[in-house]
Structure 1
Amino acid sequence: MYIIRDTFYLKFGHYKAAKTLLDEAVSKNLMPVALEVRVFSDFTGDAYRLIIEKGHKTLADYEKQLSGNMSTGEWQKWYEDFKQHVERSHREILKQVV
């Protein structure tokens, strides 16, 4: 299993708007399909983060997801709105070994 962790560092005071957009993406099925999806906000450490973890059996499954619903016009429009609230982001691809 591979875990893809996308960390979005939000602009100060933008958490509520970013979370509302994330809820909208979930309700409209715009989020990429994965075996397991978890969304976190920070509790300690760097402030104003949204962290999305997605599980995939293979890297090919992850690549397929990237070219799936993320390439639709509706997702592109949503992402344009979402990224206005993001200062920077970071992606990790982790392989689960146990």
Structure 2
Amino acid sequence: MYVVRDIFRLQFGHYKDVKALLKEVQGKDFIPNAKSMRMLTDFTGDSYRLVFEAEFDSLASYEKGLQSGMGEKDWQKWYEQFKKHVISSYREILKTEI
């Protein structure tokens, strides 16, 4: 099992706008192969952070989900709006051992 975390550092004061954007995509299956997915927020440190965390059976399943979800026009349109609120981002891919 793999855990993928996409961590976004949001611009100061933009969380409410991002939260509204996240409500727009609730229930949409942008990453269809994820076994589970959740959103975490962190209001400490340098700036606001938003973390998308998803679990996948394999890296191949993760890649397949990216290709199908990110290729959708609805996702691309949504992401154009979302990234206006992001200062920086990075990704962690972790393998569960137990």
State the TM-score, normalizing by the size of structure 1.
Answer: 0.92
Q: d(CA) in 2 for partners of 1:66 and 1:54?
A: 12
Q: d(CA) in 1 for partners of 2:77 and 2:87?
A: 18
What is the total number of aligned residue pairs between the two structures? 97
Deviation at 1:44, TM superposition (A): 3.2
Kindly tell me: are residues 36 and 14 of structure 1, through their superposed partners in 2, closer, same or farther at Cα, counting changes over 3 Å? same
More displaced stretch, 16-25 vs 44-53: 44-53
Deviations 1:25-58 (A, max 9, x none): 124x053121010110004334311101000000
1:14-53 matches, within 5 Å, as 14-27=14-27, 29-33=28-32, 34-53=34-53
CA contact (8 A) 1:30 1:70 kept: no
Partner of 2:94: 94
CA contact (8 A) 2:9 2:50 kept: yes
CA RMSD in angstroms comes to 1.2
The residue type paired with residue 47 of structure 2 is A
Partner of 1:10: 10
The residue type paired with residue 16 of structure 1 is K
Identity of aligned residues (%): 51
CA contact (8 A) 2:42 2:50 kept: yes
SS at match of 2:26: helix
More displaced stretch, 40-49 vs 17-26: 40-49
Q: d(CA) in 2 for partners of 1:54 and 1:46?
A: 24
CA contact (8 A) 1:30 1:75 kept: no
Q: d(CA) in 2 for partners of 1:61 and 1:70?
A: 14
Deviation at 1:79, TM superposition (A): 0.2
Partner of 1:71: 71
